[in-house]
Structure 1
Amino acid sequence: MHQAHDVEVPSLLEALRSGTALLHVALEKRLPFFSAQLNADRYRRLLEAYYGFYRPMETRLYDSALIPVGFDQALRVKTPTLYTDLTALGLSNQALGALPLSPCLPRLDTPAACLGALYVLEGATLGGQVLRREMARRLALDASNGGAFLNVYGAETGRRWKDFLDYLGRIPLDDIGRRQAVDAACSTFSCFEQWLDSREVLL
């Protein structure tokens, strides 16, 4: 009986997908990448806001020592690419150091919570492919002049997402762990949207 019940338990990926779907769609609708009003100045402000979230978020994640074994953070950290883009867009090191950072971050106090947050950050790389083409067309941006973050993994994007899903599938989590992962993923979306809202870069 117990085994039959286990078969019906959704995988971590299914739980994360269904648990974050509404938040994901809501945020996507408010991102201004396809807005007629997006110009070079607004794009720079948007990237500054992204930096203000990713920098403290990745610091908290990677300093936590709670990420389950098998995640190659050196390969997947995004903040340095945002830094490079903002430098290419004209910000000095001093200006970058003075950018405000998000005070609202998800609680990352368990390995499961870290997995939930990573799911959101890694999933964002897939959407970047569509945004990269749009920014290239509208603002003539590429990896050399401020558009690298939108294509942070380049040709490796698809393979790295699959590798991440394989990694997620190998982590054994009970019901409580899955709940912690979904809660952290939802909190990551919520904190990110609140932060972008406070920086006045959303639609």
Structure 2
Amino acid sequence: MTILARLKTETRAAHDRIEAAMDLDRRIASREGYRDLLVRFYGFHRAWEETAAGQAPDRSFFERRRKTQLLARDLEALGLKSEDIIRLPQCRPLMPLPVPEAVLGSMYVVEGSTLGGAVIARDVERRLGLDAETGCAYFRSYGRDIAAMWKLFGAVLLEASSPEADDVIVESAQKTFDVMHDWLCETP
């Protein structure tokens, strides 16, 4: 079983749990609910990116996948001022990311949510009339490159795979799902 297959299998329950708890229909039914959802994503990504950057196995690979600036741009488009955005609460405590393999496991969750973001972006555009320029840049983060970015990420995971690394990768992905669930589904 490849690391990608193992991740999909062993994190399925956590993925289903967060998907059910997110209540996206309610959260994207209004601009205010959508903005509040983006605030939660911003708090997660800002803390996660700061923590993960120091252990990322490939700095340029990691940098291309940062989402905090896209979220800040969306929040500004939805009326928040930049000085208010930088003071938004951040996700704490975060899961430990002590080694590059842990970052890769955590990135599996973050990159996977980017895939789901393409579907959410269509709903946001249909319901709220927002696009990448008017408040939906985060959910459209890779645009037409989404499949290529996922494929490249998968290749990096496969390259890093070994019996010892795979255990760390899977454990980190599971912890990331738990932290993301608690942060995104918590009422601020």
Tell whether the 8 Å contact from 1:49 to 1:196 is kept in structure 2 after alignment: yes
Among 29, 43, 64, the residue aligned to 1:38: 29
Q: Distance in 2 between matches of 1:21 and 1:157?
A: 21
SS at match of 1:141: coil
**Is residue 124 from structure 1 mapped to residue 113 from structure 2 by the alignment?**
yes
Structure number with bigger Rg: 1
**Is residue 168 from structure 1 mapped to residue 157 from structure 2 by the alignment?**
yes
Tell whether the 8 Å contact from 1:49 to 1:199 is kept in structure 2 after alignment: no
Among 102, 109, 115, the residue aligned to 2:91: 102
Deviations 1:64-87 (A, max 9, x none): 3xx224861221111110111111
Q: 1:24 matched to which residue of 2?
A: 15
Among 23, 32, 48, the residue aligned to 1:57: 48
Q: Which runs of 5+ in 1 are unaligned?
A: 1-9
CA-atom RMSD in angstroms = 1.7
Q: Distance in 1 between matches of 2:167 and 2:28?
A: 39
SS at match of 1:103: coil
Structure 1 stretches of at least 4 aligned residues deviating more than 3 Å after TM superposition: none
Q: Distance in 1 between matches of 2:113 and 2:185?
A: 18
Number of equivalent positions: 188
> 1:173 is aligned with what amino acid?
S
**Is residue 83 from structure 1 mapped to residue 72 from structure 2 by the alignment?**
yes
Identity of aligned residues (%): 34
**Is residue 141 from structure 1 mapped to residue 130 from structure 2 by the alignment?**
yes
1:188-199 correspondence to structure 2 within 5 Å: 188-199=176-187
Among 53, 57, 63, the residue aligned to 1:68: 57
What is the TM-score of this pair, normalised by structure 2? 0.94
Q: Distance in 2 between matches of 1:36 and 1:136?
A: 14
Q: Which runs of 5+ in 2 are unaligned?
A: none
Deviations 1:96-115 (A, max 9, x none): 12211111211101221111
Deviation at 1:34, TM superposition (A): 2.2
> 2:39 is aligned with what amino acid?
E
Q: 1:5 matched to which residue of 2?
A: none
SS at match of 2:92: coil
What is the TM-score of this pair, normalised by structure 1? 0.87
